[in-house]
């Protein structure tokens, strides 16, 4: 015989199952609340999106609240989108952060290079201006020197003409002097010869007187 006193009644089994289901439901709700307090990024980083979807489906399965069930069912489709979108979006964000960081560094480097180039251009412009001013001063000086050179050449040409004239005059004077000297020499020679002839004549005259005995 079966001991009916020791066999659980159907109502007892149903009550036990209900209590167990309620406890399990509360556990799922608690877990879901914990995930709802997290951001989707944090859930994705812990690789728990699939787990959240599983918990939501379990809560939907055991929920007796139509409004809650409707909201959770709508959220299941959203979770499917999140599972597809969030990892890719986070990867894109991470890549974008790397690019942004790289762009930021490149921008800083470019700004530094631009500042350096700006300073260099400023120095080059100042140097160009200085060289331009110096070139203008040199050009004025060159013009002054050219004018001075032309003046000196003119004076030199005048002096050359005067020198040639002076040389010609000196040559003429020397020629005249030489000619005069030659003439004077001839005259002196003639005078000496004349004096000699006079002396000889006087000697002959005196000898003539002596010969006469007068």
How do residues 159-206 score in pLDDT, each as one tens digit? 999 999 999 999 999 999 999 999 999 999 999 999 999 999 989 888
- Residue 149 has what pLDDT? 96
- Residue 3 has what pLDDT? 40
Domain for residue 54, yes or no? yes
Domain for residue 1, yes or no? no
Q: What are phi and psi of 46, to 5 degrees?
A: -90, 5
* pTM of this structure: 0.37
Locus of tokens 């979807």? 53
For residues 25 and 10, the model is more confident at: 25
Q: Are 32 and 52 in contact (CB under 8 A)?
A: yes
b or e along 38-77 (b: 16 or more beta carbons within 10 Å of the residue's beta carbon)? eebeebbeeebbeebbebbebbbeebeeeeeeeebeebee
Domain for residue 153, yes or no? no
Q: How confident is the model at residue 79 (pLDDT cuts 50, 70, 90)?
A: confident
Q: How many domains does the chain have?
A: 1
Residue 12 in this model has a pLDDT that exceeds 50: no
Q: How confident is the model at residue 21 (pLDDT cuts 50, 70, 90)?
A: low
Domain for residue 21, yes or no? yes
Domain for residue 100, yes or no? yes
CA 167 to chain CA mean position, Å: 68
Domain for residue 143, yes or no? no
Q: How large is the average pLDDT for residues 56-74?
A: 85
Q: How large is the average pLDDT for residues 77-90?
A: 79
Q: How confident is the model at residue 5 (pLDDT cuts 50, 70, 90)?
A: very low
Please give the residue range of the domain that contains residue 61. 13-109
Domain for residue 178, yes or no? no
For residues 4 and 91, the model is more confident at: 91
For residues 128 and 46, the model is more confident at: 128
Share the mean pLDDT of the chain. Answer: 83
Look up residue 108 and give its DSSP letter.
Answer: H
Domain for residue 80, yes or no? yes
* Distance of alpha carbon 84 from alpha carbon 111, whole angstroms: 40
Q: How far is CA 78 from CA 40, 84, 87, 98, in A?
A: 12, 10, 14, 29
Percent of the chain with pLDDT strictly greater than 70: 89
Burial class for 167, CB neighbours closer than 10 Å (0-12, 13-18, 19+): exposed
């Amino acid at each position: 015989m079966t001991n009916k006193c020791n066999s659980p009644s159907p109502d007892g089994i149903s009550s036990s199952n209900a209590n167990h289901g309620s406890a399990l439901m509360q556990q799922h709700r608690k877990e879901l609340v914990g995930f709802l307090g997290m951001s989707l990024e944090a859930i994705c980083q812990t690789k728990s999106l699939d787990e959240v979807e599983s918990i939501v489906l379990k809560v939907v399965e055991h929920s007796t609240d139509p409004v809650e069930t409707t909201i959770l069912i709508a959220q299941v489709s959203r979770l499917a989108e999140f599972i597809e979108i969030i990892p890719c979006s986070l990867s894109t964000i991470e890549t974008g952060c790397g690019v942004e960081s790289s762009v930021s560094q490149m921008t800083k480097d470019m700004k530094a290079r631009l500042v350096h180039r700006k300073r260099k251009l400023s120095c080059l412009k100042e140097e160009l201006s200085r060289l331009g001013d110096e070139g203008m001063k040199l050009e004025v000086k060159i013009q002054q020197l050219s004018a001075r050179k032309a003046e000196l050449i003119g004076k030199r040409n005048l002096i050359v003409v005067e020198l040639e004239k002076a040389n010609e005059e000196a040559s003429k004077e020397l020629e005249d002097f030489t000619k005069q000297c030659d003439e004077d020499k001839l005259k002196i020679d003639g005078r000496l010869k004349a004096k000699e002839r006079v002396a000889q004549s006087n000697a002959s005259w005196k000898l003539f007187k002596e010969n006469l005995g007068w």
